[in-house]
Each structure stands twice: as C-alpha cells, then as structure tokens.
Amino acid sequence: MNPSRVLVYIIGLLWLHLTDAKIGYFWHITDLHYDPFHNSPEFHRGCKHSRGNTEHSHRNGRHRDHTCDSSWSLIQSAAAFMSERHPDTLEFVLWTGDILSSSMEHMSEEFKLEAVRNVTDVLSRTFSSQFVFPALGHNDPPPSRRLVDMWMQWLPTEALRTFETGGYYTIEQSHSKLRIVVLNSVLWAGGAARSDGSHSHRGRAQWDWLEDVLLEARKKKEMVYLVAHAGPGVEERHNAGSSSASGGGELIPSANARLLHIIKGFSDIIAGQFYGHRHADTFRLVYRDGRPVSWALLAPSLTPRGAGSISNPGLRLYKFDSNTGKVLDYTQYYLDVTNSRGEVHWAVEYNLTQYYGLREVSATSLDALADKIRSHNDRGVFTKYITALRVRHSHDISDCDSACVHVHYCAITRADYHEFRACVRNPASALASRAAHNSAAILLHAILILLTS
C-alpha cells in the first residue's frame, strides 16, 4: 500500500479516537421537478418528445424513459424507499430545491403552492421524527407567508424570519458544534439577480447576513455546512468552455466570485458544501494559494429528465460525525427508469470511499481524485466518474476524448469562471500549475516526516 495513504488512514483513525466521533446520517434530495400533469394525456407539460411522437411510455405513472419530469408515483417511491432506509441515527434531511417542474412556470402561484404542499406532506410523513431543511430553486415559488406556514414544522422562529424576507436561514444544532447555513441562490442567479430592485436588495442583504453568520460561527468555534440549490462553478458539459458571460455557471459572475472569496476566507470553519441544480453527480474544489481548502458535493436529481443531459433518479445518504460535521462517507442510490421488466427498484449505485478508493472525504483527497480523473495513463477512474455523473445512464465513454476529459477536470478544479475558461483554452498551463502544487505538497510531506522522525 502507498505509504502516504497509510499515513492518511492512521491519522483518520486517530482523529476519530481523539474526537470521540458520534456517527450520524442525513439524506440529501434535490431537483424533484414534480409534474402534476405527468399522467394527463391532454398536457404532458413536463415531457419532451421527438416531433410527431405522441406515444408516452410512462403512462399510469410508470417511467420507461428520460423524456419526462417526476410523476407523483416516482416521488412516492422515493419517499417509501427513504422511509425503509431510515438509520436509527438519521439527524436531518437536506432538500435543495427545484421542487416543481419547469412546465409549471406559467401556472398560478396558488397552483404551485398547492403542489409544493403535496410534496411537503409526503416528506413530513416520511421523516416524521426528523427536520427537513429546504432550499429554494429557480423553479420554486418565492419566499412567502404561505411557505413559512408550510415549513414552520421544521424551522425555528429566527430561521422563519429571514426565510420569509429573503429565502435564506441558519440552523444552530443544539447538541453539537455544527451550524447549517441555507442560502437562496436564486437571488444571485441569472435574471433574478438583475431583474428588479427587490431582488437586488435581497441579494445584497443575503451577502451581509452570510458574512455575519460565518463570523459568529467562527467566534463560537462552530463548523458550518453551506447548503443551496446552486453553488459556485460551471457546467461540466464539453460545450461549457464557450465564451458566454457566465462561463456556463448558474450564478452571475460577480456573485460567483464573491461566494468563492467568502468560502476561501472561512474555509477553516466550512465543513462541507452541498448543492443540486446540475442533475449530475459531481464535485467542486476551491483553492487558496494553490492549495485545496474546501470542497462541494453535488447530488444528482430525482427527475430523470435533464436540460442538456439526462440521468437516472438519485438519492444520497451521508454518514458524518454529528459532533463536528466532518463528512465520513455517503451512499448513492439510484433507480433505473428504463428497466425492461417495468420494476420500480431502488438500489445502491456506489459508496463514495470504496468506489474511488478514498481514505477520507477532504479537499486534499478529492484534489488527488481530480488528478486521477484527468490522468492519461489510466482511464479507469474517469470511466467510474463519468458513469456516476449520469447515475448509470447508458453512454458511450469513447465519445469523450482527451479534450473532453480535460473540460471535466477544469470544471472540478476551476470554480472561478475566468480560471475555468483559461484552463479549457490552455491545458498545458493548467497541468503546469497543478504540477507546481503537487511539488509543494510533496515538499510539505517531506518536512512533516523530518519533524516527526
């Protein structure tokens, strides 16, 4: 076994022993895209089919393809599965937005809120003894008193106050040193961030609030989870290297840059970042002075339909130290909607540490994984990554040449839009900068050995 991996493993065991870790679990579900018209032959609003094709293979709530958003039966099957898989030490649930299908965009607010209530009721019954922490996506109704009344079962008074005014809030765990900070990324995204004065004002207020919360958390020696529908960084699709204003990201450039600046400044207390939005299973890394200091894990969607790419429905269960918030592992579950026998069968897709051979979940270990993903010597790790990316949806790995692999690598390691575009345009420069970082890491490791010998 590699000596450095042995060292990391020993340090991990010592850390668990010294901190007297209390193991807990939490679910992360995202991008349900519930389509109430899924089984209506008159509408099929949430479906995309080829021209002239009027046959829908998902009738009676049965998904057979990836052309439609989530039916009610798909949401119920996911809830039933999560209910069966409840660990005794399940702490909470992260629910990161896009509750509703984009097909409902022109429906009345009353209709949208009723659909959200239906999903809320299912989650309330599924997690009757746990708190669910929702984040708003761009397909969801804006913050309102109606949403407050709907979700007050899960959120304390102070959280409800900031949620009603801006759609963001923080949760202070009474039994641990973990704080959950739920952001409203819609205020920093695309048209909403530019559209009108109220959004601009709320977006600015959220920045001030976020920095105040993080300063207070540092003062109290708390660790923090950042949670939102969309996080920093760009799309991993090959065409994301275009010269678009945002570089393929959800957040406007100024918001993306400011969020990265805050993450770097508070990386000492940010124990993890959890986002959805991209309908893909991937991760992002944040660097300061060439060193990986923070990571973000992006969970795949429940809906099998994607905007530019499709995947199978996914659900994710995290294992963590509930005292400190340190993420120890996660198990990714999936549903093959094209099952030829028509069975609705949720199954384990993979376990993070086993799948990628990681000894721990950290910025350093994920940085090493990113290097393996782009390695020209062994395509095995990239094959695993691309298989997980679309949640085992069929694909031809040969379609992704070395340039395509490099774009994926740039998306993982360059969350800044300008740096991403530079990375895509100049692979040699990107490799040189990583080589310099790796040399520094080797030197630091050597120093540690000398000091402890």
For 93-126, write each residue's pLDDT tens digit: 999 999 998 888 888 999 999 999 999 999 999 9
The answer to whether residues 303 and 33 touch, using CB atoms and an 8 Å cutoff, is yes
User: Residue 320 is inside which H or E element, if any?
Assistant: strand 314-321
User: To which residue do tokens 């579900």 refer?
Assistant: 29
The pLDDT value recorded for residue 40 is 61
The two three-digit tokens of residue 268, written as one number: 């000492």
The domain spanning residue 414 has which CATH number? 3.60.21.10
pTM for this predicted structure: 0.85
Tell whether 244 is covered by a domain: yes
Angle, CA of 359, 13 and 329, to the nearest 5°? 40
Which of 360, 380, 375 has its CA nearest to residue 295? 360
- Summarised one tens digit per residue, pLDDT across range 311-368 is 899 999 999 999 999 999 999 999 988 765 555 689 999 999 999 999 999 999 999 9
CB-hemisphere CA count at 13 Å for 145? Answer: 0
pLDDT at 70 over 90: no
Residues of the chain above pLDDT 90, percent: 58
Q: Could you tell me which of 255, 29, 53, 212 has the C-alpha nearest to residue 135?
A: 29
Average pLDDT of the chain, as a whole number = 83
Q: Which domain holds residue 316?
A: 21-452
33 in a structural domain = yes
75 is a domain residue: yes
pLDDT band at 403 (very low <50, low <70, confident <90, very high): confident
Report if residue 14 sits inside a domain: no
Number of domains in the chain: 1
Higher pLDDT: 373 or 345? It is 373
Provide the residue count of the chain: 453
Residue 160 bridge partners (DSSP): none
- Among left, alpha and beta (phi > 0; psi -120 to 50; other), residue 191 is alpha
SS percent in the chain: helix, strand, coil, step 5: 45, 20, 40
User: Quick check: is 155 in a domain?
Assistant: yes
| pLDDT in the model for residue 47 | 67
Residue 432 has pLDDT above 70, yes or no: no
Listed in sequence order, the residues at least 6 apart from 167 whose beta carbon sits closer than 8 Å to its beta carbon are 136, 142, 143, 184, 186, 187, 202
10 in a structural domain: no
| 341: Cβ contacts below 8 Å, ≥ 6 apart | none
Q: What is the pLDDT of residues 238-294, one digit of tens each?
A: 444 443 444 557 899 999 999 999 999 999 999 999 999 998 999 999 999 999 999
Query: Closest by alpha carbon to 245, among 290, 200, 295, 193?
Result: 193
Answer yes or no: is 275 within a domain: yes
- Bridge partners of 321, per DSSP, are 23
User: What is the distance between the alpha carbons of residues 363 and 265, in angstroms, rounded to a whole number?
Assistant: 15
Residue 12 located in a structural domain: no
In three-state secondary structure terms, 61 is helix
Nearest-angstrom CA–CA distance, 166 and 213: 15
Under the banding of pLDDT at 50, 70 and 90, the label for residue 434 is: low
> Do the beta carbons of residue 262 and residue 210 sit within 8 Å?
yes
Among residues 94, 325, 363, 327, which one has the least CA distance to residue 217?
325
Residue 446 above 50 pLDDT?
A: no
* CB-count exposure of residue 453 (10 Å: 0-12, 13-18, 19+): exposed
